[in-house]
Structure 1
Amino acid sequence: MMLTTPANTQNLHEATFLKLRALLVEGAITPGSKLNERELAEQLNVSRTPIREAIRRLAADGLVELIANRGAIAVQLSRDDILHTFDVIANLEGYSGELAAQNINDQALIELEALQYEMMASYARRDLSSYYRLNLKIHQAINQAANNPVLSQLFTQVNARIEALRFRSNQDGVKWEKAVVEHQEMLDALKARDSVRMRKVMMQHVMNKRDVVIQLVDSESKQKVAA
């Protein structure tokens, strides 16, 4: 008989959180949907306790709203919310990129190149889930290289609101290819320690994502009206 240890419990709770987070980010749980603890527990083959903890953490991250008398709802942003959030994240990432180009050390640059290589391999396989996870790690690594903990915290909080939308923005093959090219431009700017160029590339990268997302949102709105 296997004993349940604190380490095992912690690992289970973390794994449950990551799986539930992926369901939200990758659209398996659609915006505005209610998170049913019993159904999720059955789906992930866990008890309801780690599900409840995961939902609390996701609410703190901004992916879930806890609404009185309704429970946990997958966050659903309005068109204006999306525009405002992308505007903020573009400026945060632009500043982060600028600082990273000034402060990044050789080891961090090597690690970023390795992540870029892995991400390109995922792109070649058209594995969007793997690509997005590595993409997020790259953006987080750039934030860490900026060496500004407050900036990193703000990025994490704000970016969580639009992670699902950023994931969807790569479902268009042409737009995905453009994003890959932009990531190479980021790496080139970091290698050159060109902070002005890095800020520009980062901001443009995010604004391009915004434009793709708004096109998707507007298209879906028109389809609903037509229906």
Structure 2
Amino acid sequence: MGEQISEARLSAELNVSKSPIREALYRLQVEGLVRVYPRRGTFVFSPTHEELDQIFAFRSCVESGALEIAYGNAPAELIERLSAILSEMGAALNEDDLVAYHNLDSTFHAAIMDCSGNEFLKRSYELVAGKVIAMRLRFSAKPEHVRLSFTQHETIVWHLKHGDLALAVAVLRRHVEWREGQNVFWKLDAPAEMPRRVRET
């Protein structure tokens, strides 16, 4: 994050004219994924600590609300969709396919929003979805972070399957508000009844 983007270099690497590059950069600018500074150039967005806190807080409110609505409307459908995605995430993790894993991670959270059936929640989430993906790739690069991420998703689904929406929401909130150094607390969120493999991840 924060790297400068060269239109000329992208044009040469992709073997296209500068026009589509400019159009793509404009769309990324609208989504907040790049920032243009006069007389300096175009840079990949680099969030401040305050912006990170705001995005984490936004996700916590929006996603937890969507999970509550989705579970209240159609719990079986929600659990089925999340379980299927979780299974694919596990397969990707076992194969060390981090690209597939992170894509499925995004799909998991998008499914929560979709199952809520609330168009306003879904649209609001789309405002930060691109930044969330960028931050996920940036801050979840370490293998231990990916394993921790999977445990968190698995714990959310486990609580939903066992009818404990409150705990599922609590784990989701802590998941989207994750900070470096909080790993020790996550072990407390995995119930003792869960498989040992899950609790010790």
Interval of TM-score (by shorter of Structure 1 and Structure 2): 0.7 to 0.9
Deviation of residue 199 (structure 1)? 1.6
Matched letter for residue 137 of structure 2: F
TM-score, length-normalised on structure 1?
Answer: 0.70
5+ residue gaps in structure 2? 183-201
Q: Report matched runs for 1:36-185 at 5 Å.
A: 36-104=6-74, 106-107=76-77, 109-185=79-155
Contact 2:70/2:78 (8 A) holds in 1: no
Residue 212 of structure 1 aligns to a residue whose secondary structure is: coil
Deviation of residue 180 (structure 1)? 0.5
Q: For residues 11 and 116 of structure 2, what CA distance do their matches in structure 1 show?
A: 39
Deviations 1:84-123 (A, max 9, x none): 2212222222212222222236455434333222211111
Deviation of residue 178 (structure 1)? 1.8
Contact 1:98/1:198 (8 A) holds in 2: no
Deviation >6 Å, runs of 4+: none
* Matching residue within 161, 176, 180 for 1:212: 180
Q: For residues 78 and 50 of structure 2, what CA distance do their matches in structure 1 show?
A: 36
TM-score, length-normalised on structure 2?
Answer: 0.78
Higher relative contact order at CA 8 Å, sep ≥6: structure 1 or structure 2? 1
5+ residue gaps in structure 1? 1-30, 215-227
Deviations 1:44-84 (A, max 9, x none): 33332332222122112211113333343211111222122
- Residue 192 and residue 101 in structure 1: after superposition, are their counterparts in 2 closer, same or farther (change >3 A)? farther
Matched letter for residue 47 of structure 1: S
Q: For residues 213 and 67 of structure 1, what CA distance do their matches in structure 2 show?
A: 34
- Residue 148 and residue 192 in structure 1: after superposition, are their counterparts in 2 closer, same or farther (change >3 A)? farther
Aligned length: 183
Deviation of residue 174 (structure 1)? 2.5
Q: For residues 119 and 181 of structure 2, what CA distance do their matches in structure 1 show?
A: 28
Q: For residues 213 and 168 of structure 1, what CA distance do their matches in structure 2 show?
A: 16
Percent of pairs identical after alignment?
27
CA RMSD in angstroms comes to 2.5
Counterpart of 1:4 in structure 2 is none
Higher helix share: 1
